[in-house]
Amino acid sequence: MSLSRSSGPKKGNNSLIFIAGILVIILLAMIFWGMSRNSSIEQLISSAAPDSSAFASDSLLVAAGEQEVAEEQPEEKQEEPAAPPSTDSTAAVTDSANARATETPAAAAPVVSNEGGETIYAYKIRKGDTMYKLAARFGNKPADIMALNGLSDMSVQADKTIKVKVKALHSVGAGEGLNAIAEKYSVSAKSIKIANDMKDDVLSQGASILIPLK
């Protein structure tokens, strides 16, 4: 009777130890399996993810290639604006132009002819001229001018040519003055100036001037 009582608790303890061992084994297996799974997942993620070092290398290669292309292309030279002409040359051109502008063209020599032993000058009538003004200017009489031109009245028209009598067409000699010429033809110096539209007494050698009748 004593033997059967002692074997009962021993069998119960053995069962518990056996179950506990199985649980421990299962727990260890689960832990190991979980670690293996995590490792596999990390490997899959790392294999699927792109290699950042490769991208960095490619970026460096592209940047280096662009730099080489930029260095190979020559820089375009900007055209420098043309320098303005120097002050001296501009002044010379300006002075030349001013000189040409202020030059007074030489007056054409009056055209005279001889008709019946008299010297005749063909005068172009200006605006404001009258028969009396023409007669006074060249020392003529109005009636003589009308007869010379075959006019029936004393009206004159601007830009028309009219004949008047003069004493002579004189060519100024070297050193010859106005008073000397007036004395030579027995007329006043003032009348010579009026007949030739002279502003002063200055005469140029070789110039042709009209000598009025008086």
pLDDT, tens digit, 9 for 90 and up, residues 109-167: 677 878 778 899 999 999 999 999 999 999 999 999 999 999 999 999 999 999 999 99
For β-strands 118-124 and 161-166, DSSP reports them as: antiparallel
Buried b (16+ CB within 10 A) or exposed e, 175-201: eeebeebbeebebebebbbebbeeeee
Q: What is the pLDDT of residues 96-114, one digit of tens each?
A: 445 443 433 344 567 787 8
Residue 88, helix vs strand vs coil:
helix
Determine, yes or no, domain membership for 142.
yes
Determine, yes or no, domain membership for 141.
yes
Determine, yes or no, domain membership for 174.
yes
What does DSSP assign to residue 165? E
Determine, yes or no, domain membership for 45.
no
Residue 126 domain boundaries = 112-211
Domain count along the chain: 1
Residue 204 or residue 12, greater confidence:
204
Determine, yes or no, domain membership for 88.
no
Is residue 93 scored above 70 in pLDDT? Answer: no
Determine, yes or no, domain membership for 194.
yes
Cα separations in angstroms, 82 against 75, 85, 86, 87: 21, 9, 12, 15
Determine, yes or no, domain membership for 68.
no
State the Rg of the chain over Cα: 65
Q: Model's pTM, two decimal places?
A: 0.49
Determine, yes or no, domain membership for 202.
yes
Residue 176 or residue 48, greater confidence:
176
- 134, 151 contact by CB (below 8 A): no
Buried b (16+ CB within 10 A) or exposed e, 62-100: eeeeeeeeeeeeeeeeeeeeeeeeeeeeeeeeeeeeeee
Determine which helix (DSSP H) or strand (DSSP E) holds 6, and give its type and residue range: helix 2-48
Query: How much is the pLDDT for 22?
Result: 86
Distance of CA 172 to the CA centre of its chain: 51
| Weakest-pLDDT range from 8-12, 59-63, 113-117 | 59-63
